[in-house]
Amino acid sequence: METKTREQKIEELKRTVRNIPDFPIKGIQFKDVTPLFKTKESLSMLTDVLYEEYKDKGITKIVGIESRGFIMGPIMALKLEAGFVPIRKPGKLPAEVYEEEYQKEYGIDKIQIHKDALSPEDIVLIHDDLLATGGTMEAAYKLVKKMGVKKIYVNFIIELDDLKGRSLFPEDIEVTSLINFSI
């Protein structure tokens, strides 16, 4: 059986992403990640590529952003033998929270994390499915940074390069995306 290289796996995953024109509004070319989770083969390949990327980084917690960060986040946490921490929209977490406000294309939104979710010893990987303008992940990064963790990594399955969301993060933060698209 032929073993695929990392690059071959990523190209195969890229071909699996579905493009949906005019969603959620006319003019937007939505990149749908759900086909990546649809088969055992693509989900396994995605898991393997993410694991290889982070297996030697000492990750102790995966922070997943609601809602699609809740798909691969727990899978990566299990594979990396780390814990999983959700970042959610207001009113969804039952204990005391930190909150961060951020600008969206059509208004202001907020996200929250439990105050006791992370410690200064943690090495954190913040994960979400897609980097576009970067507002949500920037808010998540600020929440995690506020908690004084040892190190932060940022990861996406897909990045829309032309929107330059990556520019919101300090240069010393390792931001990785598996699949890149121009829009």
Question: Does the active-site annotation cover 101?
Answer: yes
* 10-residue stretch averages of pLDDT, the chain, 183 residues long: 89 96 90 96 97 98 96 98 98 97 87 98 97 95 97 98 95 96 87
Q: What pLDDT shows up at residue 1?
A: 62
Global confidence as pTM: 0.95
Q: Considering only the top CATH level, what class is 6-181?
A: alpha beta
**Which residues are within 8 A (CB) of 151 and not within 5 positions of it... i.e. 6 or more apart?**
58, 123, 124
Question: Does the active-site annotation cover 2?
Answer: no
Q: What pLDDT shows up at residue 2?
A: 72
Cα–Cα distances in angstroms (integers) from residue 140 to residues 39, 120, 151, 163, in the given order: 29, 17, 14, 18
- The domains of the chain are located at 6-181
Q: Which residue in 68, 138, 166, 174 is the catalytic one?
A: 68
Q: Which residue in 41, 52, 99, 101 is the catalytic one?
A: 101
Q: Is 162 helix (H, G, I), strand (E, B) or coil?
A: helix
- Is-contact 173 154, C-beta < 8 A? yes
Q: What pLDDT shows up at residue 106?
A: 74
Rounded (10°) angle between helices 69-80 and 40-54:
60
